[in-house]
């Protein structure tokens, strides 16, 4: 993802996980490796501060895939699939 696309990521965007990302906290596969590549979700938060102080997290994009599962991801792991409907 280039700098222009990175700047375009915002809360409410629909995104897809474009690369292989193994998680161990998926509710249907808890404690087991599960690849979320290809899953689609919505950016619900972009982490940039903690208790009023600026931070630079490695995985700042919090994406909700369904009501029971969300993950923190890096910009290089995401692709935009749709704009928010406002």
pLDDT in tens, 1-56: 444 455 588 999 999 999 999 999 999 998 999 999 999 999 999 988 888 888 88
pLDDT at 49: 86
pLDDT at 67: 93
Q: How far apart are CA 76 and CA 59, in angstroms?
A: 10
DSSP state of 4: H
Q: How far apart are CA 7 and CA 9, in angstroms?
A: 6
pLDDT grade, residue 86 (50/70/90)? very low
pLDDT at 9: 87
> What residue spans define the domains of the chain?
3-82
The CATH code that applies to domain 3-82 is 2.30.30.50
User: Is the model's pLDDT at 83 over the cut of 60?
Assistant: no
Q: Do residues 82 and 12 touch, judged by C-beta distance below 8 A? A: no
């Amino acid at each position: 993802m280039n700098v222009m696309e990175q700047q375009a990521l915002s809360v409410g965007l629909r995104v897809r996980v474009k690369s292989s990302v193994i998680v161990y906290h998926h509710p249907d596969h808890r404690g087991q490796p599960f690849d979320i590549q290809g899953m689609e979700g919505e950016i619900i938060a972009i982490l940039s501060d903690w208790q009023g102080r600026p931070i630079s997290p490695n995985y700042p994009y919090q994406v909700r895939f369904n009501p029971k599962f969300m993950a923190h991801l890096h910009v290089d792991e995401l692709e935009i699939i749709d704009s928010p409907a406002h």
